[in-house]
Structure 1
């Protein structure tokens, strides 16, 4: 039950982080937002390292750095796909791939959830697709490039979840330290090579800091959930994060939810309930 609560809370916080990150990208370039949120997250997790149990090790840092490289690339691919494609195609493609890969790997590694939990996983997969549907009419056509970028983004996010799960027991939050360190180096190198500015737009710093703190807070919750539950279950629950982004946009920005998105949120709640019943 603890893993379900942690993973569900993680999904809520991830969704909030995406909301604030989306607001920040309206005022600043993507690489600037990504880098500054990563730095903020690193500063947030450092004081937690000696508080929560865990010790650094080459294995913990290596798995974390691998996860950080995959996660950093995933964010960049995701924003590029959104810039060149239709949201109603890009978002479901990314979200579905990001949850399907951990589920597949978890089953290959021998994880066998209870039948009701598997039913919840199936419901959650459907919820991810429905929640990702854009509320605005899709008036444009999506070319091949954004679809490929969306698939790559989903693979990156899925790999991030998988690699963090592989960190050795007793690692605590040190894999997150390695992940954030690697992603910072990656984004900074890409900015230097591409000549892009890393200066945030006017008034964007508070929003970027909020996004960075929430993103790292969600990462901490994911690591704690992954230490207590199956990858198949935890990754699926975490991947429901777009639901909280939509609800926050509805509340703050007064954006409307369409019927498909609303049904996706309802389906997500049903999936959580089914999975929770099997873990009590």
Structure 2
């Protein structure tokens, strides 16, 4: 397995751990407040890293990619939460998860990346694994599918746009600055910014930030299709942490999804 694929898997682990902690934080605070308090922290951290590492000032195109990615990523998060509220959860999770993973693969192929037959089989197995793993009990109403499609589109395009930048820390800082400029005023007006569970909120921030960083490094060092696909394994990490820490149980379909993804990963990364 090459270094880019390993970094993408590290991105999935980081995102998964961050989402696990964010999920715990969202039991006390609205998800919008969690995002509104963590994204500005990530923005400051990325800007400081850019300065400390003497990263050259970014071009306008790099900032543009970062800004667009920030808006679409925020759109994905907020519409996903709303879609889950409307339901049915199973359809919402499968739709957004599979679409969010499929878009980077399709974009990579359109941009000229080539996959062998074995790579293609691995992609299909991982996509099937993500879809099966996302199956949840059917709860909620019937209005969530359009928003689930929008959430999956936002997640997928976030990964595609972020990968177009040649800069690293400045681009990530711009992405979080843009999302913060949208979500902070909205949350302040609707919920207020005073957290009920500040420790969990701030503990979740490094996972999301490190996930972004590792994904961008993986996409720049390797193939967008592979980096995007492997990074989108993060829900598996979140659920496994919930199983270990909170004693939550996975159903048989979800375990089948895990198995397919595990089989598919080495095929995706094979040369």
Q: TM tier, shorter chain?
A: over 0.9
Contact map agreement 2:69 2:161 (CA 8 A) in 1: yes
Q: Distance in 2 between matches of 1:122 and 1:246?
A: 21
SS at match of 2:221: coil
Partner residue, 1:99 = 101
Partner residue, 1:271 = 264
Q: What are the residue-to-residue correspondences of 1:105-124 with 2, within 5 Å?
A: 105-124=107-126
Displacement after TM superposition at 1:52 (Å):
4.6
Structure 2: gaps (5+ residues): none
Structure 1: gaps (5+ residues): none
Contact map agreement 1:120 1:270 (CA 8 A) in 2: yes
Contact map agreement 2:187 2:193 (CA 8 A) in 1: no
Contact map agreement 2:46 2:170 (CA 8 A) in 1: no
Q: What are the residue-to-residue correspondences of 1:126-165 with 2, within 5 Å?
A: 126-134=128-136, 137-138=137-138, 140=139, 142-143=141-142, 145-165=143-163
Mark the CA change 1:141 to 1:213 in structure 2 (over 3 Å): closer, same or farther.
Answer: closer
* Matched pairs, number: 269
Contact map agreement 1:9 1:221 (CA 8 A) in 2: yes
SS at match of 1:50: helix
Partner residue, 1:240 = 233
Q: Distance in 1 between matches of 2:192 and 2:35?
A: 9
Partner residue, 1:187 = 183
Q: Any idea what the Cα deviations from partners look like across 1:152-209, whole Å, max 9, x if unmatched?
A: 0110011100101111x3x1321101100000001124336xx31233442x111111
Q: Distance in 2 between matches of 1:269 and 1:50?
A: 39
1:69 partnered with 2:71: yes
Superposed CA RMSD in Å reads: 1.6
Q: Any idea what the Cα deviations from partners look like across 1:203-246, whole Å, max 9, x if unmatched?
A: x1111112221101100000100111111111111111110011
Mark the CA change 1:141 to 1:76 in structure 2 (over 3 Å): closer, same or farther.
Answer: closer
